[in-house]
Amino acid sequence: MFPSFGTDGVRGLANEVLTPDVSVALGRAAAEVLGGKRVVIGRDTRRSGHMIEAGLIAGYTSAGVDVDLLGVVPTPAVAWASLGDDVSGAMISASHNPFADNGIKLFAPGGNKLGDEVEASIQERFHELLGGAVFPGPTGADIGIMRNDPATASVDGWIELITNSVAPRAFAGHRFVLDCANGAASGWAADIFGALGADITVIGDAPDGININSGCGSTHPEILQAATVEAGASAGLAFDGDADRLIAVDHTGAIVDGDRILAILAADWKATERLNHNTVVVTVMSNLGFHRAMAAADINVATTGVGDRYVLEELGRGGFSLGGEQSGHVICRDLAGTGDGILAAVQLMDAVIRSDQPLASLASNSMTTVPQVLKNVRFSVRDPDIVNKMAPDVEKASAEMGDDGRVLVRASGTEPLVRVMVEHVDATVADRVCDELCDRARELIPPNPA
């Protein structure tokens, strides 16, 4: 069974699912489908990053593409470095996953995430190569080369983009705690916030190859919560392993998730005339409370499927400037072509400081979260039609709850399970309806093949 693209590239256990052979095949397939004569490759701090990087180098250069290594950088820095018409990008990271996993995210020339058709073409070619198909490549002087030269692999422009997006030294006199998840934000986030005049305390900034996301970062904010309160900081800011995701913490230690970050930015950008077409783009996972808050603020909401690439597609289609996910992917489309945790943190803190209110007040007033229950039902075998089978039950539950609730049922794209999410203003109702739908899913599970 060959690895396939998920919602954000190819990901799996390094050296078991994501092997050097897989990396070589994927690099060559990407080079052949995306074209161009140059690729920039970045990685996070995982121990397996060098191994996968070596495979990608072999794959790209065997297809005649020159490789420039960026080293350890955030994913958005790779997207920025691939903005050229003839330059593609590859980021080696498994984002918020444990260190033993790794992954490869690809960017088309122009710094864009792959569309479905392009991704399918790369996957087809990738699987052909893994299956042993032989495709003669360039020879002689047409073989690509690898460079590790700061002059050709600089991301200074990405740093300038972030620091220039707010006033000079906009954070002078303000204290923040930064949690870099022992990942790709290490070093970068501290330098950027320092350049903007902030007084900073940094945690999760000592990567050793195996401690990425370990008890730290956006998926484990407990240490950040305590450190923010102890430091008397205005806010704490946590990134994930590849720094394309942000979760914030206010001065009391309360978590400010992606929905609240987007709600704060949407209101600020509307007031400052940056919110294109008065619209913010989110996925179906955003809380019902977010939608109610945006309606009250007279801000339109466009909703997409789960995955930041679908948010990006909608942002581009509608010419919108702001979007993201509840999980903390925030896309400032007027500034960058992909989610960027550090950029989002800078934009959020700038909005907070200009409001002359603490983050706690802005977050509390931005929306009222509707209780949400999310449960998984695992199958013995995957049933891709389970959502359609459950549609009558979902429709009945939705009608019962009316405007006070919402139901979302999704089949996992990679595992034999269905995810059931129910929101309702009454938490007991949300829990009851979710349990009923989970029971119904179990009744519809296909029998375990003998």
Catalytic residues: 95
283: its two tokens: 């996925």
Cα 262 from Cα 281, distance rounded (Å): 9
Among candidates 282, 306, 300, which has minimal Cα distance to 421? Answer: 306
Contact 108, 335 (CB under 8 A): no
How far is C-alpha 424 from the chain's CA centre? 27
Cα 312 from Cα 291, distance rounded (Å): 19
How far is C-alpha 105 from the chain's CA centre? 11
Burial label for 69, CB within 10 Å (0-12, 13-18, 19+), is buried
Q: Who contacts 254 (Cβ-Cβ below 8 Å, separation ≥6)?
A: 225, 360, 363
Burial label for 257, CB within 10 Å (0-12, 13-18, 19+), is buried
> Counting every residue, how long is the chain?
450
DSSP lists the bridge partners of residue 14 as: 18
Q: Tell me the HSE value of 272 on the side-chain side, using a 13 A CA sphere.
A: 13
Question: In this structure, is the dihedral angle defined by the CA atoms of residues 85, 322, 279 and 350, taken in order, positive or negative?
Answer: negative
Among candidates 251, 198, 245, 253, which has minimal Cα distance to 221? Answer: 253
346: its two tokens: 């800078």
Cα 61 from Cα 77, distance rounded (Å): 22
Cα 271 from Cα 326, distance rounded (Å): 22
Cα 303 from Cα 408, distance rounded (Å): 13
Q: Who contacts 281 (Cβ-Cβ below 8 Å, separation ≥6)?
A: 301, 302, 303, 304, 311, 314, 315, 318, 320, 322, 323, 324, 331
**One-letter amino acid of 339:** G
Cα 123 from Cα 177, distance rounded (Å): 41
Residue with tokens 């309702």: 424
65: its two tokens: 């593409």
